[in-house]
Amino acid sequence: LDGAVLVTGGAGYIGSHAVLALLDAGHRVVVIDNLTTGFAWAVDRRATLIQGNIEDDGLVRAALRDHDVRAIMHFAGSIIVPESVTDPLKYYRNNTVASRALLESAVVCGVRHFIFSSTAATYGTPEKVPVSEGDPTVPINPYGTSKLMTEIMLRDVAAAHPINYCALRYFNVAGADPEGRTGQSTAGATHLIKIAVEAATGKRETVGVFGTDYDTPDGTGVRDYIHVSDLAAAHVAALDLLVAQPARSHVLNAGYGRGFSVLEVLDAVDRVTNMKLERVVQGRRPGDAGALVADNRAILATLDWKPARDDLDMIVRDALAWERALQQRS
Ligand code: UDP
């Protein structure tokens, strides 16, 4: 790339993996992160870290100009579905309003390419599974709505200005860098695999199973778990495509196209640890869909990318290794 890549939220879970993937591919990387949930140590030393908010136009525009930024990967935001139900305005501020400010800075400073962390939560409860990009987007929680609103802004901005974008609709991201350089580190986990590996390492006693009466084979929620390093590689491939075809933009599901239930995930953790997690059946969690699985034909056909780590046990092993390293650290 003729210029640098700005990674917002590059000190966070997925962002720190994307920073590694970009650097390993030879890109120059600048990170902006306010470090509310991210960690400075999670940002590889080869990248430049600027602490600040993406709504801070002065800070962002100076960074875009000083570092000759050509492309933005936008990870910064709030990501917890149940929290978005109880505190929706936080999600409209941190996701929608902040993205609007960042986009305006991108346009003003002539940034050419924009890659956005979107989510399968934009679909809500899909009419059919696997769900494809052209299916209706009817979010069932403010998190999904806040991200969909940004997709809509991107569509309109790309039609009006010389910028193209790729919105990647993430399914369930899990695992950690196989080389142990970064992983999911934020306290107060709500995501299933993180919670399960915390339980497996003695950080918590039990794992709650949120709902056993969904319309799924075993009644528990089914999700499409994708390894974070595969997802990071998809971002680099998306950047390559946006550069090669500057007149085209894309909305792509980022998943493997197969689902595992909550019980299947917990069984995988048991297999990997050779222990037995204690499961506690609880009621449904507000805002949760029953099954969410990607139709991933579009991303496979569009990007020069193939899943390399489509293996639930591998995802769990990498998540577990990081969890152990993280607990050693503190
Ligand atoms: N889940 C669960 N127990 C937990 C956390 C999650 O049973 O402690 C379920 C949740 O209801 C959903 C699936 O696991 O069916 C994945 O939830 P997660 O929070 O990991 O991701 P989400 O799909 O909500 O983004």
What pTM value is reported for the model? 0.97
Which CATH number goes with the domain that contains 144?
3.40.50.720
16-32 average pLDDT score:
98
Residue 37 CA to ligand 1 centre (angstroms): 20
Residues 100 and 245 in one domain: yes
Q: Is the pLDDT of residue 262 over 90?
A: yes
Q: How confident is the model at residue 266, as a pLDDT?
A: 98
**Do residues 107 and 48 share a domain?**
yes
Picking from 141, 169, 179, the residue whose alpha carbon sits closest to that of residue 17 is 179
pLDDT level of residue 330 (50, 70, 90 thresholds): confident
Percent of the chain past pLDDT 70, that is, above it, reads 100
Averaged pLDDT score across all residues of the chain: 97
Q: Is residue 60 part of a domain?
A: yes
ipTM of the complex: 0.99
Range of the domain at 325: 192-223+257-292+309-329
Same domain, yes or no: 208 and 70: no
CATH code of the domain covering residue 321: 3.90.25.10
Q: What digits encode the pLDDT tens for the residues 96-153?
A: 999 999 999 999 999 999 999 999 999 999 989 999 999 999 999 999 999 999 999 9
Strand positions, DSSP E, the chain? 4-8, 29-33, 48-51, 69-74, 113-119, 164-170, 172-174, 206-210, 222-223, 225-227, 250-254, 260-261, 278-282, 291-292
Q: Are residue 139 and residue 198 in the same domain, yes or no?
A: no
Q: Is 143 a catalytic residue?
A: yes
Q: From ligand 1's centre to the CA of 225, what distance in Å?
A: 11
Residues 167 and 214 in one domain: no
Residue 184 lies in a domain: no
- Count of domains in the chain? 2
Q: Tell me, what's the pLDDT at 77?
A: 98
- Do residues 196 and 51 both lie within one domain? no
pLDDT one-digit tens code per residue, 181-193:
999 999 888 999 9
- pLDDT of the residue at 286: 82
Segment 160-189 mean pLDDT: 97
Residues with a CB atom less than 6 Å from ligand 1: 81, 172, 190-192, 195, 207-211, 221, 223, 262, 285, 288
Q: Whose CA is nearest to atom 15 of ligand 1?
A: 221
Check pLDDT > 90 for residue 43. Answer: yes
On the question of a cis peptide bond just before residue 142, with omega within 30 degrees of 0, the verdict is no
Report if residue 300 sits inside a domain: no
Q: Is 156 exposed, middle or buried (0-12, 13-18, 19+ CB in 10 A)?
A: exposed
pLDDT band of residue 329 (cuts 50, 70, 90) is confident
Is 212 in the same domain as 111?
A: no
Instruction: Tell which atom from ligand 1 comes closest to the C-alpha of 193.
Output: 20
What integer pLDDT is reported at residue 275 of this predicted model? 95
Look at residue 201 in the predicted model and tell me its pLDDT.
96
Whole-number Å distance, alpha carbon 223 to ligand 1 midpoint, is: 8
Mean pLDDT on 164-186: 97
pLDDT at 289 over 90: no
